[in-house]
């Protein structure tokens, strides 16, 4: 029988996994159904969701063992096993958040130049060197055995370093993650607003991609629970932090998956649209129209290319041709 806290935990993390998986599935369908190949950002998002599914299986197992109950009601072996699943869950969550945001940044890299490309690369470097690696390393090395990081396992022997170190590293990680989200969304907005689209359409696309802001806000809220995870009551109250971790990873996957879904709304090109897209005819699309920030946002000219007036392929099409 699951404890009330464990019931809340499982009732929260599994819907997050299913919703993010459904949105990711729609993204993949939007690309495959139009004969487009999956690229590195798609594969990274798929990898992130697989990790999410595995980590939620881990924490569900921990819930079945008694996670959510006071640690005084659990024996040493049970506490140790729960802590093992907790460490694995936290490591996987860090990977999910980092990799899914890197996938979003990779998509943005395909259509940026100058300072926007520099900012995007900086965000990627920080996600690897600030958010991912230090967080994982400190979590698995600060204590020996690793399970002691959550406290109440002194009977296992071994030692623990200063457990405030993972907290500080976590705060730095969360700060960079949130700032990266806000910066990448701002760049995506700038790209969308420079496109030759109707204003209401620009607003719709920009709002859809603003899901990344929600991910950043959740990152900030999650770290309000960090001190609770490292308290002696982790076994009873740590479930709240795990819910926020799942929410952070899920919203990161959804935010990165949303842009190509515009393809499902816009639909296939009409005959007149294809004719207008042919080289040598009047009224070619401007480079702004072709410079959609992500592959599936390009106006559907899959059988033709957008050319400038002198017959050369526009820079915007060259950026997106590899997508």
Task: Give the tens place of pLDDT for each residue, 150-205.
Answer: 776 777 888 888 767 877 888 888 889 889 988 988 888 888 777 777 777 777 77
pLDDT reported for residue 314? 39
Q: How confident is the model at residue 308 (pLDDT cuts 50, 70, 90)?
A: very low
pLDDT at residue 89 is higher than 50: yes
pTM recorded for the entire structure: 0.80
Residue 118: what pLDDT? 93
Euclidean distance between CA atoms 43 and 40, whole angstroms = 5
Which pLDDT score is estimated for 319?
41
Share of residues in the chain with pLDDT > 90 (%): 36
Confidence category of residue 231, pLDDT binned at 50, 70, 90: low
CATH topology of domain 4-266: Rhopdopsin 7-helix transmembrane proteins (1.20.1070)
pLDDT-derived band of residue 271, with 50, 70 and 90 as boundaries? very low
For the chain, what is the mean pLDDT? 78
């Amino acid at each position: 029988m699951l404890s009330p806290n464990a019931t809340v935990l499982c009732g929260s993390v599994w819907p997050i996994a299913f919703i993010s998986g459904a949105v990711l599935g729609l993204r993949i369908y939007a690309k495959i159904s139009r004969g487009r190949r999956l690229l590195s950002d798609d594969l990274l998002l798929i990898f992130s969701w697989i990790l999410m599914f595995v980590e939620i299986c881990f924490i569900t197992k921990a819930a079945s063992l008694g996670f959510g109950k006071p640690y005084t009601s659990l024996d040493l072996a049970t506490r140790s096993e729960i802590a093992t699943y907790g460490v694995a869950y936290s490591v996987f969550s860090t990977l999910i958040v980092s990799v899914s945001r890197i996938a979003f940044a990779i998509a943005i890299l395909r259509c940026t130049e100058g300072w926007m490309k520099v900012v995007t690369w900086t965000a990627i470097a920080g996600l690897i060197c600030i958010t991912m690696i230090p967080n994982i390393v400190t979590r698995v090395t600060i204590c020996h055995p690793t399970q002691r990081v959550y406290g109440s396992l002194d009977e296992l022997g071994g030692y623990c370093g200063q457990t405030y170190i993972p907290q500080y590293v976590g705060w730095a990680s969360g700060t960079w993650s949130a700032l990266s989200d806000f910066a990448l969304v701002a760049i995506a907005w700038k790209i969308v607003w420079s496109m030759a689209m109707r204003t209401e359409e620009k607003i719709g696309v920009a709002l859809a991609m603003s899901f990344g802001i929600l991910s950043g806000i959740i990152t900030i809220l999650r770290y309000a629970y960090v001190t609770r995870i490292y308290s002696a009551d982790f076994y009873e109250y740590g479930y709240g932090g795990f819910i926020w971790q799942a929410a952070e990873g899920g919203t990161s996957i959804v935010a990165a998956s949303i842009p190509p879904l515009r393809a499902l709304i816009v639909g296939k090109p009409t005959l007149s649209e294809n004719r207008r897209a042919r080289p040598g005819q009047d009224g070619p699309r401007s480079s702004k129209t072709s410079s959609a920030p992500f592959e599936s946002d390009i106006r559907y000219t899959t059988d033709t290319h957008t050319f400038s007036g002198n017959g050369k392929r526009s820079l915007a099409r060259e950026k997106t041709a590899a997508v």
